[in-house]
């Protein structure tokens, strides 16, 4: 990957590219210094990035909403820059766990806990500083003796294919760290301190844990108005797609409506040793929006993303601005099959709403973000939910195979946006409460 | 250079003249292109075609559609042809289209040319790839029919037909079908192509696709599954995704072939009720390496001008002898002199460049002739130019688990008998003015009945009135000639006659 010429592209676009590149080169580029391993820039205090205090960080790792801003409609504004780091525990640590070498495992656990606290000291727990979660795969818990049933009290199955339309690869790396910030340097500096060669971040020394983990994958993305439009040169979207400036998604609309998001309470595990934690599902989705932009009109796009009713009543506006904080799918007919037979098309949001709780509460807290990893448009579809079963339930409703079976709606065609989305990988993780976020035992 | 065949009239460049190294290319080309074969640049070719189009459009001053239903207020009889050409950017040639076509299946302005690649295996499926120039088609979203114009970045119209290798049957296998497209050895971009019907190709999936630079492109195909209920010999099959890949050479020669190979019809036929021959039909049974043989060679006997001069002599007249190909398809006797609209059958041309309303033979459709459906045929009413044969099978047939009757409704395009998937149909049975049964029909794929919509019925008596209501029109995309047909919801009626 090459970075664009910083003088020829907007600062934000350059930083997005720097985050995608990562490493010392990305960080140095972001800081405007040379790519020089000895340059103190990558560990020094970052201009304008507030330091933090571990004492003030909430017990729930996923408690981000309180410190994030709201837009004028009251929707949470997600951080702009995102990195997902997938790591295996190192061979030495794996052997220690396998051998039941409590001393070595405890040492590793303490060091990683220290490192995470160091990061919290380096960065304010906010969109200007850094927000992050540390999650663990079912495969991680299986490393511990006698734990084929997974972490105590948590529904955390191995990932599976969820429809006949996909044959995804499965993310089984032990650890997934999600780093997010509006400040690209913060994401990169924290990443370098945890997994790279830096021994400090934002001027704060960070305990070395590089011997504990082996990198498996690194995924990046961004969420902000105008960013998709700026990145239309990627594969999977026409270079001249009329994506509105305000739209944070390549499909040309906004998301994250408060009315369709679960609260952090709803997704929090309530019982057992991991109470206060949550489960995390990440799908790696590729998107192909050639036909979306070249062959569908706005009416069709609204019908497929929201519902035909939204299209007919012009509820959405150009990019979702008319929806405020609520996509207003709750008032649509309950009998989606009958609706599908009459309309011949069902909307994505409309389908997903079928899986809401009985009282109308959405079960998933979406923290997904678009990407151009691999120079191809896509979405890292990250959701938090109390149990993975919640995700599967919503996904089944979204798949709409009942609709395809019993109406003229196809498995993909006119079935929400399924025609445009390709599932490439899936992974399930447990995000423990902060107390147990460092290399937890299955039943701590 | 094992398998290259060219469906042309013999004046194309011989395989030896080609630089194409792809071993498996065959082109349905016709020499009456605007551009003769040869190493021309893409720009030159497109320019040439645009010129040709202008010439064609320029002489479009005559109503070529004498059988238009006349219901269109603006059908003033002088604008059947149009200069409303498709974009000539990005590899899409400018092509004439029929202006104000009837709300029915109609004859478009030309036969497409395309490169057929060798079929490949993808698990339990056989995949037949076809590639041509980007062109306009129509998508159906609910009740809305919207033209999909090729964009400036589209380079090809990429299609695959999925078949059962055992029976040769075309399968509506759109579920989870992906085409991952990119230069050989490089990263791919996925496409979920549209399920489509075309007079010339039948049911297939396809889309206009951007490629980029010339080169060898590799398309990785994933065929998923079939949503329809599977019965008969299809029961229990096709439940596992299959994968395969094919390559094709995207270069000037390809564009030359497919653009130059377009076969224009005489303008007087444009917009007439009727359909082009389906050249993908007839491959049942003799599938494999000899497939398409019957149209691959039987129509190139030096009659390249078959429908350009003096065609007036073989249509409208002896429609009784419309089986030039010797398909023996006229032996269904009764009423064959007229089509479903009550119009006299006619036929022009030969082989796979034949077109008209002539009766297609048993092997020339994707679904059986009504008379060949099992059970008691209740009738074959038409609605919005689709034909709806319905049949009742006696109690305890293989379609039902118990002792019920089975009702099969088999909507199809007229003439070519293509399946019409992605509809929603409801039914009601009335006896003495009371509804005794009602519900929705389930899309079903059977080796004998083909694609149809069916249900088990416990109670049924001769004399019951059956109505079948189209709730959702076929949401399958359309090539030219089908976009104005089948688009009205409505109800067709039958009187039950038990077998």
Residues in chain A with CB shorter than 8 Å from the CB of B178 are: 422
Is B441 among the domain residues?
yes
In whole angstroms, give the CA distance from residue B103 to residue A434: 66
Is B318 among the domain residues?
no
* Gyration radius (Cα) of chain B, Å: 22
Q: CATH number, domain at B372?
A: 2.60.40.2480
Domain interval for residue B441: 368-495
For chain B, the straight-line distance linking the first and the last C-alpha, in angstroms and rounded, comes to: 55
Check residue B181 and give its pLDDT: 97
Chain-chain contact of A165 with B175 (C-beta, under 8 angstroms)? yes
Chain-chain contact of A408 with B424 (C-beta, under 8 angstroms)? yes
- From the list A164, A238, A374, which residue is nearest B176 (CB)? A164
Chain-chain contact of A300 with B144 (C-beta, under 8 angstroms)? yes
Check residue B335 and give its pLDDT: 57
Chain-chain contact of B190 with A286 (C-beta, under 8 angstroms)? yes
Chain-chain contact of B210 with A238 (C-beta, under 8 angstroms)? yes
Low-confidence ranges of chain B (pLDDT < 50): 1-26, 28-89, 284-334
In whole angstroms, give the CA distance from residue B262 to residue B52: 11
Q: Which of B87, B139, B141, B173 to mutate: most A Cβ within 10 Å?
A: B141
Averaged over successive runs of 10 residues, the pLDDT of chain A (444 residues) comes to 76 82 83 54 79 96 97 95 97 95 96 98 97 97 82 94 92 98 95 93 95 97 94 94 96 92 97 97 97 93 92 93 84 81 88 87 95 96 97 90 85 90 97 98 93
Chain-chain contact of A341 with B224 (C-beta, under 8 angstroms)? no
Q: How far does A409 lie from chain B, in Å, by closest CA? A: 6
Domain boundaries, chain A: 1-136+173-222, 138-171+233-444
Check residue A375 and give its pLDDT: 94
In whole angstroms, give the CA distance from residue B364 to residue B362: 6
Chain-chain contact of A374 with B187 (C-beta, under 8 angstroms)? yes
Counted across chains A and B, CB pairs separated by less than 8 A come out at 142
- From the list B174, B176, B189, which residue is nearest A376 (CB)? B189
Number of domains in chain B: 1
In whole angstroms, give the CA distance from residue A317 to residue A117: 44
Q: Which of B180, B190, B209 to mutate: most A Cβ within 10 Å?
A: B190
Q: Of B435, B431, B413, nearest to B487 (Cα)?
A: B413
Q: How far does B337 lie from chain A, in Å, by closest CA? A: 34
Chain-chain contact of B175 with A342 (C-beta, under 8 angstroms)? no
A264, A60 contact by CB (below 8 A): yes
Check residue B280 and give its pLDDT: 86
Q: How far does A66 lie from chain B, in Å, by closest CA? A: 39
In whole angstroms, give the CA distance from residue B94 to residue B53: 7
Chain-chain contact of B475 with A286 (C-beta, under 8 angstroms)? no
In whole angstroms, give the CA distance from residue B394 to residue A66: 67
- From the list B225, B422, B473, which residue is nearest A413 (CB)? B422
Report the residue of chain B nearest A342, measured CA to CA: B471
- From the list B141, B191, B227, which residue is nearest A345 (CB)? B141
Residues in chain A with CB shorter than 8 Å from the CB of B207 are: 290-291
Residues in chain B with CB shorter than 8 Å from the CB of A418 are: 192
**pLDDT tens-digit profile of A74-129?**
999 999 999 999 999 999 999 999 999 999 999 999 999 999 999 999 999 999 99
Tell me the pairing of strands B405-409 and B450-457: antiparallel
Q: How far does B378 lie from chain A, in Å, by closest CA? A: 24
Output b/e per residue, A48-58; b: 16+ Cβ within 10 A.
Answer: ebbebeeeebe
Q: Which of B92, B189, B238, B409 to mutate: most A Cβ within 10 Å?
A: B189
Q: Which of B138, B150, B192, B454 to mutate: most A Cβ within 10 Å?
A: B192
In whole angstroms, give the CA distance from residue B184 to residue B486: 40
Instruction: Note whether B268 contacts A: Cβ–Cβ < 8 A.
Output: no
In whole angstroms, give the CA distance from residue A189 to residue A196: 9
Residues counted in chain B? 499
B395 token code pair: 């109690």
Report the residue of chain B nearest A239, measured CA to CA: B153
- From the list A288, A300, A341, which residue is nearest B191 (CB)? A288
Instruction: Note whether B44 contacts A: Cβ–Cβ < 8 A.
Output: no
Report the residue of chain A nearest B475, measured CA to CA: A408
Instruction: Note whether B471 contacts A: Cβ–Cβ < 8 A.
Output: yes
Residues in chain A with CB shorter than 8 Å from the CB of B175 are: 164-165, 404, 410-412
* Beta-bridge mates of residue B412: B387, B419
Is B70 among the domain residues?
no
B 159-198 near A (Cβ less than 8 A): 174-176, 178, 187, 189-192, 194-195
Chain-chain contact of A167 with B241 (C-beta, under 8 angstroms)? yes
CA dist list (Å): B198 to A297, B94, B194: 23, 19, 12
Three-class SS of residue B58? Answer: helix
Residues in chain B with CB shorter than 8 Å from the CB of A167 are: 222, 241
Q: Which residues touch B275 (CB under 8 Å, ≥6 apart)?
A: B105, B107, B199, B355, B356, B357, B413, B414, B415, B416, B481
Chain-chain contact of B175 with A308 (C-beta, under 8 angstroms)? no
- From the list B140, B471, B474, which residue is nearest A341 (CB)? B471
């Amino acid at each position: 990957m090459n970075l664009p010429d910083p003088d020829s592209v907007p600062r934000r676009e350059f930083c997005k590219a720097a985050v995608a590149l990562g490493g010392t080169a990305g960080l140095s580029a972001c800081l405007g210094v040379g790519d020089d391993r000895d340059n103190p820039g990558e560990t020094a205090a970052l201009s304008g990035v507030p330091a933090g205090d571990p004492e003030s960080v909430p017990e729930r790792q996923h408690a981000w909403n309180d410190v994030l801003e709201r837009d004028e409609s009251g929707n949470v504004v997600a951080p702009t820059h995102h990195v997902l780091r997938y790591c295996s525990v190192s061979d030495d640590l794996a052997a220690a766990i396998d051998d039941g070498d409590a001393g070595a495992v405890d040492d590793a656990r303490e060091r990683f806990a220290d490192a995470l606290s160091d990061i919290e000291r380096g960065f304010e727990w906010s969109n200007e500083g850094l927000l992050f979660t540390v999650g663990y795969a079912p495969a991680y818990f299986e490393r511990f003796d006698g734990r084929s049933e997974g972490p105590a009290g948590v529904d955390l199955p191995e990932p599976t294919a969820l429809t006949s339309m996909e044959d995804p690869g499965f993310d089984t790396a032990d650890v997934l760290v999600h780093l997010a910030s509006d400040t690209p340097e913060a994401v990169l500096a924290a990443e370098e301190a945890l997994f790279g060669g830096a021994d400090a971040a934002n001027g704060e020394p960070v305990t070395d844990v590089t011997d504990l983990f082996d990198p498996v994958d690194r995924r990046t993305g961004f969420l902000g108005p105008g960013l998709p439009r700026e990145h239309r040169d990627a594969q999977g979207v026409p270079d001249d797609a009329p994506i509105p400036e305000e739209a944070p998604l390549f499909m040309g609309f906004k998301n994250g409506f408060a009315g369709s998001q679960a609260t952090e309470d709803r997704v929090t595990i309530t019982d057992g040793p991991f109470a206060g934690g949550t489960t995390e599902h990440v799908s790696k989705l590729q998107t192909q929006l050639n036909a979306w932009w070249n062959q569908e009109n706005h009416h069709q796009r609204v019908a497929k993303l929201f519902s035909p009713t939204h299209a007919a009543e012009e509820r959405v506006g150009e990019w979702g601005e008319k929806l405020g904080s609520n996509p207003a799918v709750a008032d649509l007919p309950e009998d989606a099959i009958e609706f599908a037979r009459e309309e011949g098309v069902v909307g994505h949001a409309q389908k997903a709403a079928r899986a809401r709780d009985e009282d109308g509460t959405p079960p998933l807290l979406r923290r997904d973000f678009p990407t151009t990893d691999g120079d191809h448009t896509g979405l890292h579809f990250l959701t938090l939910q109390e149990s993975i079963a919640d995700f599967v339930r919503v996904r089944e409703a979204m798949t709409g195979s009942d609709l395809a079976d019993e109406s003229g709606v196809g498995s993909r065609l006119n079935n929400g946006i399924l025609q445009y989305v390709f599932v490439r990988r899936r992974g399930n993780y447990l995000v423990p409460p902060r107390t147990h976020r460092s290399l937890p035992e299955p039943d701590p | 250079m094992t398998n290259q065949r060219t469906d042309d009239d013999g004046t194309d460049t011989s395989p030896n003249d080609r630089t194409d190294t792809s071993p498996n290319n065959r082109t349905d080309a016709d020499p009456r292109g605007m551009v003769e074969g040869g190493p021309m640049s893409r720009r030159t070719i497109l320019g040439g075609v645009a010129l040709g189009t202008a010439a064609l459009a320029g002489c479009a001053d005559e109503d070529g559609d004498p059988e238009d239903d006349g219901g269109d207020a603006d059908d003033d009889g002088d604008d059947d042809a149009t200069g409303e050409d498709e974009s000539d950017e990005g590899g899409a040639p400018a092509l004439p289209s029929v202006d104000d076509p009837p709300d029915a299946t109609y004859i478009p302005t030309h036969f497409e040319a395309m490169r057929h690649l060798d079929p490949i295996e993808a698990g339990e499926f056989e995949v037949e790839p076809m590639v041509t120039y980007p062109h306009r088609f129509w998508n159906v979203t609910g009740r809305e029919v919207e033209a999909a114009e090729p964009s400036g970045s589209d380079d090809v119209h990429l299609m695959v037909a999925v078949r059962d290798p055992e029976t040769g049957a075309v399968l509506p296998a759109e579920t989870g079908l992906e085409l991952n497209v990119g230069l050989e050895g490089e990263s791919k971009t996925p496409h979920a192509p549209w399920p489509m019907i075309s007079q010339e190709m039948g049911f297939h999936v396809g889309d206009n696709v951007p490629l980029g630079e010339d080169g060898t492109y590799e398309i990785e195909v994933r065929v998923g599954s079939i949503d329809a209920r599977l019965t008969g010999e299809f029961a229990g099959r096709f439940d596992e995704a299959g994968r395969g890949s094919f390559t094709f050479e995207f270069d000037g020669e390809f564009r030359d072939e497919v653009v130059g190979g377009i076969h224009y019809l005489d303008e007087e036929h444009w917009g007439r009720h009727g359909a082009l021959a389906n050249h993908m039909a007839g491959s049942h049974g003799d599938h494999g390496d000899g497939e398409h043989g019957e149209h691959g060679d039987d129509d190139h006997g030096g009659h390249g001008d078959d429908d350009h001069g003096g065609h007036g002599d073989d249509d409208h007249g002896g429609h009784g002898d419309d089986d030039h190909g010797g398909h023996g398809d006229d032996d269904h006797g009764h009423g064959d002199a007229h089509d479903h609209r009550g119009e006299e059958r006619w036929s022009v041309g030969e082989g796979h460049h034949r077109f008209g309303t002539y009766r297609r033979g048993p092997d020339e459709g994707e679904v059986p002739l009504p008379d060949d459906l099992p059970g008691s045929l209740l009738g074959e009413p038409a609605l919005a130019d689709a034909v709806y044969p319905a049949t009742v099978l006696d109690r305890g047939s293989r379609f039902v688990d118990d002792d019920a009757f089975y009702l099969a409704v088999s909507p199809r395009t007229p003439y070519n008998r293509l399946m019409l998937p992605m509809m929603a149909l409801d039914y009601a049975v009335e006896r003495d003015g009371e509804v005794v049964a009602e519900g929705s029909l389930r899309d079903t794929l059977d080796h004998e009945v083909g694609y149809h919509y069916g249900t088990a019925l416990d109670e049924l008596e001769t004399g019951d009135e059956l109505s079948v209501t189209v709730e959702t029109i076929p949401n399958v995309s359309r090539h030219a000639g089908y976009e104005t047909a089948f688009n009205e919801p409505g109800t067709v009626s039958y009187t039950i006659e038990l077998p």
